[in-house]
Amino acid sequence: MLFKKSSEKRKSFVIKGFSLVIFDIDDFKKLNDTYGHEGGDLSLKVLSRLILKRIRSVDLAARWGGDEIILGLVGANASDAFKIANDIREKTAKLKIKYLNKILSFTVSGGVADSHRAKSFNDLFRLVDKALYKAKKQGKNKIVGLSVGA
């Protein structure tokens, strides 16, 4: 029953199109080295909660690799997705988490692309991954959006 409800909500994923966002915690290895793996895990949990508060029930969010979180924003164009991603980035940068009598803080970088002209999910994923790489290369704590043909 739960799967059926979830599937029905996500039918619009194909019909309306969507945007893909990928976040990567900046300097995650340093975060783990400084606060231990428990501190790194805490940062992922806090980021996940922040993301889940910002997206809608029809959107998708999943951990993707060690310190990456990927979002599928149903019906969102690239501009809307960029605004959501940048809002999450800004809120993340302001976080001050008490952990082991210290203040843990971190930033994220992100890539954004929409499915408007992508021929396949793989094309779209390559595009959003390229955008994330550009954000990291530009100094981190940034969101970069790319379109097909970029």
Q: Which residues pair with 144 in a beta bridge?
A: 111
Number of H helices, E strands in the chain: 5, 7
Spatial separation of the C-alpha atoms in residues 108 and 43, rounded to whole Å: 11
Largest Cα–Cα distance of the chain, in whole Å? 50
- Look up 67 and say whether it is catalytic: yes
Side by side, the strands of the sheet bearing 68-74 are 60-63, 68-74, 18-25, 108-114, 143-145
Catalytic residue, candidates 67, 87, 114, 123: 67
Spatial separation of the C-alpha atoms in residues 66 and 25, rounded to whole Å: 9
b/e map 39-58, b = 16+ CB within 10 Å: bbebbbebbeeebeeebeeb
Give the residue numbers marked as catalytic. Answer: 67
